[in-house]
Amino acid sequence: TQLLEQSPQFLSIQEGENLTVYCNSSSVFSSLQWYRQEPGEGPVLLVTVVTGGEVKKLKRLTFQFGDARKDSSLHITAAQPGDTGLYLCAGGSRDSGGYQKVTFGTGTKLQVIP
Amino acid sequence: DTEVTQTPKHLVMGMTNKKSLKCEQHMGHRAMYWYKQKAKKPPELMFVYSYEKLSINESVPSRFSPECPNSSLLNLHLHALQPEDSALYLCASSQGTYYEQYFGPGTRLTVT
């Protein structure tokens, strides 16, 4: 069974602070996505990383895929209240039947206080 | 159009009722998914349809019955549910190599 552990589970910070969320596994993934979800809504795709060592930036958000494609991190600079939400990483792979499968991480609940 | 729609938004049903959840996408995606999500937890995969055929069933109880009438539509038929089945039910679709999924807003289901 593939597992993706995220840390921290919960994070409450003041507006303007920086933070990093980690997503770790012992399994190799073909790609890794990060999503943000607000209460009562579906997850919204933020980014996909596919190459080991890849770094992608989306405004104040920086995403990195580990060299071995087993882990990833999300760094937010100068957090804003609008960044509040549940952050989910998700790893893509193929199951024993050859079908695409996505494994979601355990989630990080971020609260940014004005 | 990158939207996945789900109806209804909210559903309250008794344990003897039969109801259906609907999902629609017009992005030409060939894979569609049903997930169940409890509060503050990640989504749990239930079913995957690939090219309108059921490809993955994650040992979901038979009181949940999926259906894919065509490449744009996905239904989840519900019958004799239990209170512990109350959750947010999410539909998603994907196409391509990199496993990116596009989610609908979900149906908040309450079983009384």
Which are the contacts of B36, defined by CB distance < 8 A and separation ≥ 6?
B43, B44, B46, B85, B87, B88, B89, B90
What DSSP character marks residue A52? Answer: T
- Using alpha carbons only, what angle is made at residue B31 by residues B38 and B2, rounded to the nearest 5 degrees? 80
H/E stretch holding A61 reads strand A61-65
Query: What does the pLDDT average to over B19-36?
Result: 94
Interface of A with B in 39-98 (CB under 8 A): 40-45, 48, 50, 86, 88, 90, 92, 95, 97
Spans in chain A with pLDDT lower than 50:
none
For residue B8, which residues of chain A lie inside 8 Å, CB to CB?
none
Q: Which of A4-8, B28-32, B84-88 has the lowest mean pLDDT?
A: B28-32
Whether pLDDT at B96 is above 80: no
Alpha-carbon Rg for chain B, nearest whole angstrom, is 13
